[in-house]
Amino acid sequence: MKEALSRYIRAADYLAAVQIYLQDNFLLEEPLRPEHIKTRLLGHWGTCPGINFTYAHLNRAIQAHDLEMLFVLGPGHGFPAIQANLFLEGTLSEFYPTLPRTKEGMAKVAGQFSWPYGFPSHSNPEAPGVILEGGELGYALATAYGAVLDNPELIATCLIGDGEFETGPTATAWHTSKLIDPATNGAVLPILHLNGYKISGPTFAGRMSDEELTALFTGYGYEPHIVDAYVSEDVHGDMMTALDTAVAAIRFTQHCAREGTLTKPPKWPMIILRTPKGWHSIPELDGKRIEDNHASHQVIAELAKTNETHREALEAWLRSYRFEELFDGERFAGEIESLVPARHRRMGSNRHTLGGAPHYKALALPAVSHYTSTNTCNLDDPICGQVSSMETIGAYLRDVMKENAEARNIRLMSPDETYSNKIHAVFETTTRAFMWPLRPWDKDIARDGRVLEMLSEHTLQGLLQGYVLTGRHGLLVSYEAFAQIVASMTDQYAKFLKIARSVPWRGTIASLNYILTSTGWRQEHNGFSHQNPGFIDGVLQRQSDFTNVYFPADANLAVTAFARMLQSEREINVMVCEKRPLPIWRTTEEAARDIEKGIAIWDFATDEDPHMVFASAGDYPTQETLAAISIVRQEIPAFRMRYVNISALSGGGLGHSEHRVLRHEFADYFTEDKQVRINFHGYPQTIKQILFDYGGDIRRFRVHGYEESGSTTTAFDMMVRNHVDRYHLAMEAFAIAEDEGVISAKEAKDLKETYEAKLAAHRAYIIEHGDDPLDITNWTWQSR
């Protein structure tokens, strides 16, 4: 067995190395000459031998224990090793018949690696088995945990770089084991790849003693096993023992939990694997230590095409694998083949990583109409109902969880905010997962909760990605300002999704869904630090047809949009809405129409043949806009206005991505030439960049939004400071009414002065009383 492992690793190391260097003479049938070497050497060698060592050993363990395993690679720059294994195990040729497992296929794989219009240099969605974009380090462990949720038979082995180990997201992800109930979930087997170095220096973990590392991981709740290639007399034997022990521990824990005899928090195994970086390559070159040093991180002997010493070193190294003994151009040597698991057990073709049936199942969704409020404002009714969008969503989500309880395929990720964000109705049907000791007074917490609460947005996002990419459904609900913490992760996921959507063998997956609440407009109590609507910017900047940002102005629109998000596939959706009660503006049917298109003219606030257009996106900005229209109607009855509600923006346009407002439709909403005032939930620039593409006379538009003016103040003062309040908007309409000749200059001046005085009075009032006056807080719509 050990000989087989050695030979497998030799073959995989060779296959990884030739991808980085060669454009010809792939089997070294001739002496290595400059023309065989790629002009640009792009790739990372140092991490590859450790990956191959691990992959080979996992293949052995998969067969020995009949494991269903998937592999999450942290250092995705080790992609040559992944590709080598996919080629070797035959997965690559199954998914890509143009890459047969032959000498010709190998030439294509190697020649096309890191080549324009060939293969990328890092792990990517075109590679079978991959569920993590290789690039931005730190997210592997959380992703692996996401994959095993509700997959009781699955083991996700996660290889974590020791440089990656220094990242914040990785540091916090170790705690995720405290959320994993072994009775109903699979297991993650973390392997810390301690090759001692990152790009240009030693890693902290690499210089920590075994005692320090053991204490650290024991404290996290794991049982560490150290495999040390530096001191071991039998590194294969040690790794085999470590894996066998780990698998036995996982199975024992799961067995106890499943038969109800687990009494203590489980101690999951993890492995610390010490190997030299760039293992078995070039010990020294130009008087510099290469192997077992950071110098092996990327391309070694990097001048091989032009410098003879480098070329000789490269050739000697490549020949040291004696690849001709391992592959005859048609088949790998028998021992190597024997290490390749049966097709359905190969990590590269693990079905969970592919999306689609049988692991993906659309959710059973209750009818939205059971949750919408019929207490719509008839809009002249001063007691028209006020409903919380988030409470409505909470009720809907509770019932989605109920209806899909048996399928066990939806999860809520929350950074300690399920209560705060007002969706705690879900606790009528489930709890928060927690495996560590509980106290009698703990509430809504149990081992098998479907809500994952942890104060790490990074870990929650990683969990969600792993869960969704393995065919399930979920959402992350966050304070709006702190969603920014994962903006970069969302960006990486969007890259993965963009490519994955065009890979034919990647099946259907659910959308990645966010709800951003506790928004800046109602963070008047927490203040400036909590006021940041910027997360949506990164999402909207993608020129794509799979990103949507919803701005429901009331609870009926919110629950309609939410149902659509849960129904949608392969999108990234963000909904921004508040948790406090607000008026209901739209009936169930109107809400359905509005959300379908993402933009609508609201008749009750619209006059024929308007002098100007008001538009808004977002709940509080909409309330202020309608209040402004109401004021202007009373002050200048002859002035005609149209109101346009924007309930969705998408990557590259106004409206929902499926029904984006086209250039020729733009005037249907905004007229050809009238003045337009848009009151926006987020930064004004966000909507300005969208308007630019619609062309026309952009000067007739003015956009108001969050101007980075915030503090601890009153709710209405937050609006005033950013000029999105009813009084500022009304004053702009007065000026337009004057320009349109509806009122005289004198009338316009008088009105302006009246409303400036109202603003001054409001300011004086809140300084004296500490809160908004009731006529603002209890405002209701009046049409005339």
Binding residues for Mg ion, rule: CB under 5 A, are 161-163, 195
Whether 492 contacts 136, CB under 8 Å:
yes
| 163 near ligand TPP, rule: CB under 6 A | yes
| 128 near ligand TPP, rule: CB under 6 A | no
**Range in contact with ligand TPP (rule: CB under 6 A) among 192-200, 383-391, 407-415, 662-670:** 192-200
Residue 403 interface partner, choices ligand TPP, Mg ion, none, CB cut-off 5-8 Å depending on type: none
Question: Residue 452 has which token pair?
Answer: 């994952």
Element at 645 (helix H, strand E)? strand 641-646
The dihedrals phi and psi of 289, each to the nearest 5 degrees, come to -75, 125
| 46 near ligand TPP, rule: CB under 6 A | yes
Residue 75 interface partner, choices Mg ion, ligand TPP, none, CB cut-off 5-8 Å depending on type: ligand TPP
Residue 476 interface partner, choices Mg ion, ligand TPP, none, CB cut-off 5-8 Å depending on type: none
Binding mask 134-153 for ligand TPP (x = CB under 6 A): -xxxx---------------
The nearer residue to ligand TPP, 43 or 125, going by C-beta atoms, is 43
Say how far apart CA 183 and CA 163 lie, in whole Å. 33
DSSP, residue by residue, 153-212 = TEEEEEEEETTGGGSHHHHHHGGGGGG--TTTS-EEEEEEEE-SB-SSSB-TGGGS-HHH
| 198 near ligand TPP, rule: CB under 6 A | yes
| 161 near ligand TPP, rule: CB under 6 A | yes
| 164 near ligand TPP, rule: CB under 6 A | yes
The nearer residue to ligand TPP, 45 or 727, going by C-beta atoms, is 45
Binding mask 497-516 for ligand TPP (x = CB under 6 A): --------------------
The nearer residue to ligand TPP, 165 or 332, going by C-beta atoms, is 165
CB of 161 to Mg ion, least distance (A): 5
Whether 646 contacts 551, CB under 8 Å:
yes
- Per the listing, tokens 């294969």 go with 236
Say how far apart CA 201 and CA 91 lie, in whole Å. 35
Whether 429 contacts 402, CB under 8 Å:
yes
Report which residue's Cβ sits closest to ligand TPP.
161
Say how far apart CA 13 and CA 26 lie, in whole Å. 13
The nearer residue to Mg ion, 94 or 166, going by C-beta atoms, is 166
| 462 near ligand TPP, rule: CB under 6 A | no
The nearer residue to ligand TPP, 46 or 105, going by C-beta atoms, is 46
Beta-bridge partners for 133: none
Residue 238 interface partner, choices ligand TPP, Mg ion, none, CB cut-off 5-8 Å depending on type: none
**Of residues 737-766, those binding ligand TPP (CB under 6 A):** none
Residue 136 interface partner, choices ligand TPP, Mg ion, none, CB cut-off 5-8 Å depending on type: ligand TPP
Residue 137 interface partner, choices ligand TPP, Mg ion, none, CB cut-off 5-8 Å depending on type: ligand TPP
Residue from 42, 199, 215, 638 in contact with ligand TPP (CB under 6 A):
199
Question: Residue 312 has which token pair?
Answer: 């000789």
**317: three-class secondary structure by DSSP:** helix
Report the relative pairing of strands 675-680 and 612-617 from DSSP bridges. Answer: parallel
**Of residues 640-679, those binding ligand TPP (CB under 6 A):** none
CB of 274 to ligand TPP, least distance (A): 12
Q: How many residues bind ligand TPP (CB under 6 A)?
A: 21
Whether 25 contacts 90, CB under 8 Å:
no
**Of residues 351-370, those binding ligand TPP (CB under 6 A):** none
Residue 164 interface partner, choices Mg ion, ligand TPP, none, CB cut-off 5-8 Å depending on type: ligand TPP
The nearer residue to Mg ion, 293 or 548, going by C-beta atoms, is 293
Question: Residue 74 has which token pair?
Answer: 């942290």
CB of 470 to ligand TPP, least distance (A): 23
The nearer residue to ligand TPP, 56 or 336, going by C-beta atoms, is 56
Say how far apart CA 303 and CA 725 lie, in whole Å. 64
The DSSP symbol for 505 reads: T
**Range in contact with ligand TPP (rule: CB under 6 A) among 108-116, 161-169, 244-252, 574-582:** 161-169
* Residues in contact with 281: Cβ distance below 8 Å, sequence separation at least 6, in sequence order: 17, 45, 49, 290, 291, 296, 300, 317
The dihedrals phi and psi of 738, each to the nearest 5 degrees, come to -65, -50
Say how far apart CA 41 and CA 496 lie, in whole Å. 24
* Residues in contact with 495: Cβ distance below 8 Å, sequence separation at least 6, in sequence order: 133
The DSSP symbol for 702 reads: E
Question: Residue 156 has which token pair?
Answer: 């996700």
The dihedrals phi and psi of 156, each to the nearest 5 degrees, come to -105, 115
**Range in contact with ligand TPP (rule: CB under 6 A) among 190-198, 260-268, 549-557, 574-582:** 190-198
The nearer residue to Mg ion, 159 or 387, going by C-beta atoms, is 159
**Range in contact with ligand TPP (rule: CB under 6 A) among 62-70, 109-117, 196-204, 219-227:** 196-204
**Of residues 56-95, those binding ligand TPP (CB under 6 A):** 75, 77
Angle, to 10 degrees, between the axis of helix 726-739 and the axis of helix 619-635?
50
**Range in contact with ligand TPP (rule: CB under 6 A) among 98-106, 159-167, 443-451, 764-772:** 159-167
DSSP, residue by residue, 652-667 = TEES-GGGPPPGGGHH
Q: How many CA atoms lie within 13 A of 370 on its CB side?
A: 10
| 276 near ligand TPP, rule: CB under 6 A | no
Angle, to 10 degrees, between the axis of helix 140-148 and the axis of helix 457-469?
50
| 195 near ligand TPP, rule: CB under 6 A | yes
CB of 139 to Mg ion, least distance (A): 16
Residues forming contacts to ligand TPP in the complex (CB under 6 A) are 46-47, 75, 77, 135-138, 161-164, 167, 193, 195, 197-199, 203, 277, 297
